[in-house]
Structure 1
């Protein structure tokens, strides 16, 4: 972090920016896990909606 001071004596603090890097394409194993997580999320949300409809 670095600080600057303007003419009026007001301090400005600036955060250090992280180093940038390119993302890597997910491996087939990671893609499978993402698909499984997506399926479980759809099942969970569908269950919540059906329970909400059943209770109301």
Structure 2
């Protein structure tokens, strides 16, 4: 993963098209690992929401 800063956090959370910059596999894995570490520190009682835009224009 590059050391360059890429904005992926917006006002509605993390957004990005899968497997395209900035949401590459490496970035998704790093985000998941970081979230897991934080959740584990707080007894694992957190909710995570994963969504998908199902409009035809998004395919």
Tell me which interval the TM-score lies in, with the shorter structure as reference length. 0.3 to 0.5
Q: TM-score, normalised by structure 2?
A: 0.36
Between structures 1 and 2, the one with greater strand share: 1
